[in-house]
Each structure stands twice: as C-alpha cells, then as structure tokens.
Amino acid sequence: MDADRYDPVPHDEAFVARVLSNPAVKSAYDALEEEYSAISAFLDARKSAGLTQDEIASRMGTTKSAISRLESSLGNGKMSPSLATLRRYAAAVGCRLELKLLPR
C-alpha cells in the first residue's frame, strides 16, 4: 500500500523558488504577506514572553480555546478580532499594540 505512505514534498529553497516562479502562485503568496506577518508577530511575542495559551487566557480572563481561535483567526481571515482584544493580548504578553498605515 505505497499509496497510503506519507511522502512530504521537500520544502527547501529550491522548491520555494520553483513554486514562486509561477506568477499566479507568487501573486497569491504575496497577498497573504500581511496576514502571515500579523500572526507571526503575535506568536513571536507569546514565545518571547515564554507563555502558553493557557497563561495568556488566564491573564486576559478568557479560555485557552478563545486564545487558540484568536491566534488562528489572525491568519485565516474568518474572524476579525477587535482592537480591544488585540490590545488585551498584547498586554498579556507584556507588549503594547501599535497599528501603522504605511504607504505602498
């Protein structure tokens, strides 16, 4: 049953370069940059603070599942957390939320 065998696609620099050489893929990839940047910033802040989702939830007065949904929503566009929620998350990880509009 080799068809059932897990055989991941190598995700190295050569693979990324080859995939991104397709203009349609590159355009779709670039369109996601802001979302991935946002989720990375929040996850990096949590990691730097050395906190778990449970600990952040406790600091925010909510549940671990709410924090999990919040973190995953930042990259999937299905939910738009309020600025107040993002500020509370930032405070829970010892940060201050800063929102900027940058020229393109």
pLDDT band of 100, cuts 50, 70, 90: confident
CA distance 74 to 89: 12
Residues 58-91 pLDDT 10s: 999 999 999 999 998 886 667 788 999 999 999 9
- 28: amino acid identity, one letter: A
Q: What pLDDT does residue 77 have?
A: 67
Supply the pTM of this predicted model: 0.71
> Which residue is listed with tokens 């989702």?
53
Each residue of 37-59: pLDDT tens digit? 888 899 999 999 999 999 999 99
Which domains are present in the chain?
17-92 (1.10.260)
Query: In which residue are the tokens 């991941």 written?
Result: 8
